[in-house]
A and B are shown apart, each in its own frame.
Chain A
């Protein structure tokens, strides 16, 4: 029983040693063990029922450990059973112990104290100095033991600590932040009175000189000072012999060490010797420390499925998060306000509905069409496919090899069609069209990239543009059909002329002959062989006489054809022609002498008698080829044109006096024609590009007509004298109004070849153009008396009949002086009468 008792006591001492009572005697329960802080329950006034008190402490401890507090009886029963093994003194023991712990009771029972001393270090009572070391050692072992952590012992400790549970059991921790409370409470605690029975009271005053060498005190009787500043006297020491004897007597001499500070011999305990030995051996001083303990892997590399962690869970793991709460509330509010709706199948409103119902009811369509926004132009529709796009087109739509090659060689952007017609014969052989998507895409591009514009296409009706011309049938009479052909010439008939009576026709040809024809019948009345190209024949316009001039080669002959008119007329004619002989030479020479140094290239000759027999009365010889002859309207003057350069090309001859004169000292350009004006004393000189009109009376240039053509071929003046027509080798006919402008009033181009001759009718409002294309164009040309009214020009008829020889067609044409007839001569050697 005592052994048992001792065991229990030893346990309790161990528990006590756990408590650092020696370090801070004021706070004996300062170890961080949770103590139930119920002041009512642990009221010190209740301390009379000690057993019950202990049980309550136990129960609390059990609760603290996690046992259910709902079965206190069973728990209490267990405890009681355990307690039964001991005697009732056990409770007393515990009481003693508790008083010992808190140090509040001034119990003088030394048993517990002795026990503790005995159990912990077995230090002797008299060896006070050794007790310090012992305590430190035991504390270190205690520390080790706590680290190992025996749960059962822990529980025991606490029970011991709570033995004398009362008000004294409170620590500063129990008050938490209530420092004032704690201070108040501390005042209630009893004052510590270190009496005689206390440990320190029996001890010698300890030397407190600090860490200074003791030999400094070698010459003094004291060895230092105690805590009160009193000298600690050097203890009496025997001499060397005494020391030796004492050593010899003392069996523990080998375990005695000298405490130099206190000048004392300290006897080392077994444990201390063991420690020294271990230190000397280079081992861990604590025998109980196992340095080869198994490693506890607090943090391991292996991830466990349910990791075991010794770490304390953090507080935030148990406290609801404020921020989460805020976020949740945000969502809640959003749901309440309907901002968040449940995601699910959306309400299936019909995708399509009658879109135009409202518009048509309200007439919005009309409104939109009226205005509001600009009317967008609808894109033009694609052209519908034609036969060639068929999979099996008619054979004529298939391209030839050349066409196919051309199509393939062409740039795709410039191709007329974007496909090549193909014949597949049967529908099953038709492949997919590989450019289908591209063509659709192209259409899309056209729709949104191509500018659209409304193009105003004038619906051109050719009929509307056509001039409103009077019907030619209303403008009759005019020559419209061929009536007669005069055959006989073997060369080109360059020139024809009708006599003023209209009965006779004269023609001059390349074959060197001049023929006289009876106009009505076509009978050739007479032939003059002039043995040279006859460029021009011209009847004298004077109706009183019967004379004509013919330019053949380099001479101009004046002929009075015999037996053509009555004798009187014949006589007058011959008189007129011959009158110049006699005076002519003198006058001509005088003129020449007067005029200039250089004589005129003209000589008036008497023809040979053979010629005279045929009617040739006068021959005017020139130096060069005579190209043109033109009579003045009175029939006395004759203008001739030669191929000569300069001013001598144009000469004017007076037939009645056989007198020649040169009107121009010099002339610009190659003269094509000369012509007298029908009413005024004007001479029209036609050069290649211009027509110059000279007033012969004033000897001045009247005006220059500028037709704007390349090469003028012929000119004629309207019988009334105010209008001029002009034909050109570049196919144009120009009409001039002399009063109006020097530029043409009208330019008409119909002929496909050069115009050779233009001619006005002297009697009818007609004019005609003869061309190298073998046609004669008949025009109606009315000139009104009213100057404000423009002349009316109406094409009437194209007369065809002449053949084209060596790209020469009709060379000359002339109107009948009385009838609405036209005569024409051509390169084919014929003369034709058109009626």
Chain B
């Protein structure tokens, strides 16, 4: 007879361990365990059988993988936590004895630890880190707007501000911004970095209320890790596009609430690049002794350095790179055009619009931005600058309007970004009732309800002609110079002027309409749409707005005989299924219907 096996020596009770057992094993407090779990990214698991995992007990407990806990045992952070605890005890004792000198010395030599090793451990590849960046960004952007009171220190807020601003600078520089959404919770941004979609939300620029029902120790632990992660990610992103990291902080501008402008983003110096090249050469020599490869890299490095030197001579780095990118991507012109949506625009932000968001998005799409003196310093354009083409305002009545620019509401900027083209401004002029603002993240599948606005935009995009050309500075130059004179009296002059240009005669209108139709057809043809398809699309577009707003489910089209038969057959077939299968099929069909 073999040896009797001891109970619970293998199986689920070995695979899983309860939280209390983990605490006992690690000899840490619950708070420290929580901190470890957060930092190491260890999460509870749900065993198949709780009873078996908990040695026959059905008590409600949290389970972890035993191997995860085993990993924690050798975690150097545990020692650091203990050192910190000892330090606190010493400090408290010194303070209790009013031994302030000792307390100061202790404080100066307080044990410190970094989480660098955890970042590389949790994200062995840079792509992994990017994939998990959403939460980090949300958290850092939130704490960047938090008031530095009680539980949130000023250092934390400053660090978060710096990190978030750096990241925004990268997004601007890399032209990575894809979608923006004005939600009731905050502003969602989506950027595409190294092929990964990264979404984060930024609260509106109000002072955050520090709630009482939130455990800030948990938040602080998360934030600590996220800061480290974002710092390293920023470093990598910056150096990947040859920018110095960390960017220099202009304290004067920062004090003046210059926002993005307070960080000076600069290209890396040539010497640094040479150093990097040497390092790269060494690495290449050790890793792959491929002379041809090295030579190729050398060659590319030379051109790169030249371009960087050229970029250095130009004043702001982002502009230089922007133009360079534009020059390079001649083949995919449309994509580049979408990236530089506001490339020809100079946008001025009135004081009532959210500057931090608009400055970011406009610059991210190649535009230049000026803002009112009251909403922060460092504006490159004053309100009366002749170069300004668009002014973003959110007041129904403007006191003084310049005729040479368009006054739009902020939603126009965001909707244009989501549509990836400059939308017609007529709906977005100040004082207008705005069209609904739709989420750019919604993807429609067959059978989904599509809001009217979405279909309108889609239709407009299909037969895109638009009035946006009037926003181009060249066109504007051709306008009557008399129009450019500022008239303070009439606040709807801009609009009426546009109307004046429209042909008024009835017979002309018909010809103009036909002409437009023809142009649209031509455009569609150029886009590779066949005539029949185009006509079909036109019909659908015409039919859609006529449909009532709430058409979900109702108003199903008349089914053909064949369809009916097919449905009949399906129903018959379903009747042949066993009860279990029938349920599954019905559920699948219900899901599909949804």
- Same complex: yes
Q: Tell me the A residues contacting B by CB distance below 8 Å.
A: 343, 351-356, 359-361, 364-365, 367-369, 373-374, 376-379, 381-382, 384-387, 389-397, 419, 421-422, 424-428, 430-434, 436-441, 443-445, 447-453, 460-462, 465-467, 469, 472, 748-750, 777, 793, 795, 798
Assuming the contacts A355-B232, A444-B222, A448-B37, asked whether A389 and B438 have C-beta atoms less than 8 A apart, the reply is no
A708 to chain B, nearest CB (A): 13
Q: Return the chain A residue nearest B141 by Cβ.
A: A440
A746 to chain B, nearest CB (A): 8
In the complex, chain B residues whose CB is within 8 Å of the CB of A426: 394, 409, 434
Q: What are 7 A-to-B residue pairs whose CB atoms are below 8 Å? A: A352-B235, A390-B184, A392-B436, A426-B409, A441-B215, A443-B135, A462-B588
In the bound complex, do residue A396 and residue B222 qualify as a contact, i.e. CB atoms below 8 Å apart?
no
Q: Select A432's contact among B62, B131, B208, B287, beta carbons within 8 Å.
A: B208
In the bound complex, do residue B124 and residue A343 qualify as a contact, i.e. CB atoms below 8 Å apart?
no
Q: Give the contact stretch, choosing among B63-71, B91-99, B331-339.
A: B63-71
Q: Select A466's contact among B125, B134, B453, B574, beta carbons within 8 Å.
A: B574
In the complex, chain A residues whose CB is within 8 Å of the CB of B45: 451-453
**A443 and B433 alpha carbons, distance in the complex (Å):** 36
In the bound complex, do residue B576 and residue A433 qualify as a contact, i.e. CB atoms below 8 Å apart?
no
**Cβ of B231 < 8 Å from any Cβ of A?**
yes
In the complex, chain B residues whose CB is within 8 Å of the CB of A436: 142, 185-186, 203, 208
In the bound complex, do residue A461 and residue B588 qualify as a contact, i.e. CB atoms below 8 Å apart?
yes
**Cβ of B301 < 8 Å from any Cβ of A?**
no
In the complex, chain B residues whose CB is within 8 Å of the CB of A382: 134
Assuming the contacts A384-B441, A385-B188, asked whether A396 and B549 have C-beta atoms less than 8 A apart, the reply is yes
In the complex, chain A residues whose CB is within 8 Å of the CB of B409: 426-427
In the bound complex, do residue B125 and residue A467 qualify as a contact, i.e. CB atoms below 8 Å apart?
no
B491 to chain A, nearest CB (A): 17
In the complex, chain B residues whose CB is within 8 Å of the CB of A748: 575-576
**A449 and B215 alpha carbons, distance in the complex (Å):** 14
B169 to chain A, nearest CB (A): 15
In the complex, chain B residues whose CB is within 8 Å of the CB of A798: 568, 572
- A-B contact sample (15 more), CB < 8 A, given A352-B231, A460-B588, A467-B573: A385-B183, A386-B441, A397-B451, A419-B184, A424-B184, A427-B182, A432-B204, A439-B185, A441-B219, A443-B135, A451-B44, A465-B584, A466-B573, A748-B576, A795-B572
Q: Select B236's contact among A354, A365, A389, beta carbons within 8 Å.
A: A354
**Cβ of B395 < 8 Å from any Cβ of A?**
yes
In the complex, chain A residues whose CB is within 8 Å of the CB of B234: 352
In the bound complex, do residue B438 and residue A447 qualify as a contact, i.e. CB atoms below 8 Å apart?
no
In the complex, chain B residues whose CB is within 8 Å of the CB of A395: 436, 549
Assuming the contacts A419-B184, A427-B182, A437-B210, asked whether A394 and B452 have C-beta atoms less than 8 A apart, the reply is yes
**A452 and B209 alpha carbons, distance in the complex (Å):** 31
**A142 and B409 alpha carbons, distance in the complex (Å):** 113
In the bound complex, do residue A467 and residue B576 qualify as a contact, i.e. CB atoms below 8 Å apart?
yes
- Interface 1/0 per residue, B200-242 and A, CB below 8 Å: 0001101111110111001100100000000110111001000
In the complex, chain A residues whose CB is within 8 Å of the CB of B134: 381-382
In the bound complex, do residue B453 and residue A376 qualify as a contact, i.e. CB atoms below 8 Å apart?
no
Q: Which of B208, B411, B576, B591 has the most chain A CB atoms closer than 10 A to its own CB?
A: B576
Q: Return the chain A residue nearest B414 by Cβ.
A: A427
B450 to chain A, nearest CB (A): 10
Q: Return the chain A residue nearest B185 by Cβ.
A: A433
**A424 and B185 alpha carbons, distance in the complex (Å):** 12
Q: Return the chain B residue nearest A448 by Cβ.
A: B38
Q: Give the contact stretch, choosing among B114-122, B302-310, B501-509, B512-520.
A: B114-122
Q: Which of B120, B124, B131 has the most chain A CB atoms closer than 10 A to its own CB?
A: B124
- Interface 1/0 per residue, B58-100 and A, CB below 8 Å: 0000110101100100000000000000000000000000000
**A351 and B159 alpha carbons, distance in the complex (Å):** 12
In the bound complex, do residue B577 and residue A467 qualify as a contact, i.e. CB atoms below 8 Å apart?
yes
In the bound complex, do residue B411 and residue A376 qualify as a contact, i.e. CB atoms below 8 Å apart?
no
**Cβ of B526 < 8 Å from any Cβ of A?**
no
A791 to chain B, nearest CB (A): 13
In the complex, chain A residues whose CB is within 8 Å of the CB of B183: 385, 389-391
Q: Return the chain A residue nearest B120 by Cβ.
A: A355
**A451 and B290 alpha carbons, distance in the complex (Å):** 48
In the bound complex, do residue A441 and residue B575 qualify as a contact, i.e. CB atoms below 8 Å apart?
no
Q: Select A378's contact among B131, B235, B236, B442, beta carbons within 8 Å.
A: B131
In the bound complex, do residue A447 and residue B199 qualify as a contact, i.e. CB atoms below 8 Å apart?
no
Q: Return the chain B residue nearest A358 by Cβ.
A: B120
In the bound complex, do residue A351 and residue B213 qualify as a contact, i.e. CB atoms below 8 Å apart?
no
- Interface 1/0 per residue, B12-44 and A, CB below 8 Å: 000000000000000000000010011001111
B80 to chain A, nearest CB (A): 17
In the complex, chain B residues whose CB is within 8 Å of the CB of A391: 182-184, 437
In the bound complex, do residue A433 and residue B38 qualify as a contact, i.e. CB atoms below 8 Å apart?
no
Q: Return the chain A residue nearest B199 by Cβ.
A: A384
Q: Select A389's contact among B65, B121, B439, B575, beta carbons within 8 Å.
A: B439
**Cβ of B139 < 8 Å from any Cβ of A?**
yes
**A467 and B581 alpha carbons, distance in the complex (Å):** 10
In the complex, chain A residues whose CB is within 8 Å of the CB of B219: 437, 440-441, 444
Q: Select A469's contact among B199, B214, B573, beta carbons within 8 Å.
A: B573
**A440 and B141 alpha carbons, distance in the complex (Å):** 11
Q: Select A359's contact among B44, B120, B550, beta carbons within 8 Å.
A: B120
B324 to chain A, nearest CB (A): 24
**A726 and B569 alpha carbons, distance in the complex (Å):** 23
A343 to chain B, nearest CB (A): 6
In the bound complex, do residue A355 and residue B236 qualify as a contact, i.e. CB atoms below 8 Å apart?
yes
**A612 and B263 alpha carbons, distance in the complex (Å):** 117
**Cβ of B181 < 8 Å from any Cβ of A?**
yes
Q: Which of A386, A394, A434, A443 has the most chain B CB atoms closer than 10 A to its own CB?
A: A394
In the bound complex, do residue A462 and residue B585 qualify as a contact, i.e. CB atoms below 8 Å apart?
yes
**Cβ of B592 < 8 Å from any Cβ of A?**
yes
The A-contacting residues of B in range 343-362, CB under 8 angstroms, are 352-354
In the complex, chain B residues whose CB is within 8 Å of the CB of A394: 436, 438, 451-453, 549
In the complex, chain A residues whose CB is within 8 Å of the CB of B34: 448
Assuming the contacts A386-B442, A390-B436, asked whether A376 and B182 have C-beta atoms less than 8 A apart, the reply is no
In the complex, chain B residues whose CB is within 8 Å of the CB of A453: 45-46
**A780 and B108 alpha carbons, distance in the complex (Å):** 91
**Cβ of B534 < 8 Å from any Cβ of A?**
no
In the complex, chain B residues whose CB is within 8 Å of the CB of A343: 105, 108-109
Q: Which of A356, A378, A428, A438 has the most chain B CB atoms closer than 10 A to its own CB?
A: A356
Q: Return the chain B residue nearest A382 by Cβ.
A: B134
In the bound complex, do residue A389 and residue B395 qualify as a contact, i.e. CB atoms below 8 Å apart?
no
**Cβ of B259 < 8 Å from any Cβ of A?**
no
In the bound complex, do residue A390 and residue B588 qualify as a contact, i.e. CB atoms below 8 Å apart?
no
In the complex, chain A residues whose CB is within 8 Å of the CB of B235: 352-355
Q: Return the chain B residue nearest A392 by Cβ.
A: B437
In the complex, chain B residues whose CB is within 8 Å of the CB of A352: 231-232, 234-235, 245-246
In the bound complex, do residue A434 and residue B209 qualify as a contact, i.e. CB atoms below 8 Å apart?
yes
B241 to chain A, nearest CB (A): 14
B396 to chain A, nearest CB (A): 8
A501 to chain B, nearest CB (A): 33
Q: Select B438's contact among A378, A390, A431, A469, beta carbons within 8 Å.
A: A390
**A799 and B201 alpha carbons, distance in the complex (Å):** 59
In the bound complex, do residue B184 and residue A422 qualify as a contact, i.e. CB atoms below 8 Å apart?
yes
**A391 and B208 alpha carbons, distance in the complex (Å):** 19
In the bound complex, do residue A451 and residue B67 qualify as a contact, i.e. CB atoms below 8 Å apart?
no
In the bound complex, do residue B65 and residue A374 qualify as a contact, i.e. CB atoms below 8 Å apart?
yes
Assuming the contacts A437-B210, A440-B139, asked whether A460 and B587 have C-beta atoms less than 8 A apart, the reply is yes
**A353 and B239 alpha carbons, distance in the complex (Å):** 10
In the complex, chain B residues whose CB is within 8 Å of the CB of A367: 124
Q: Select A390's contact among B354, B437, B452, beta carbons within 8 Å.
A: B437
In the complex, chain A residues whose CB is within 8 Å of the CB of B231: 351-352
Q: Return the chain B residue nearest A469 by Cβ.
A: B573
**A461 and B181 alpha carbons, distance in the complex (Å):** 35
B285 to chain A, nearest CB (A): 12
**A364 and B239 alpha carbons, distance in the complex (Å):** 21
In the bound complex, do residue B549 and residue A433 qualify as a contact, i.e. CB atoms below 8 Å apart?
no
Q: Return the chain A residue nearest B205 by Cβ.
A: A432
In the complex, chain A residues whose CB is within 8 Å of the CB of B245: 352
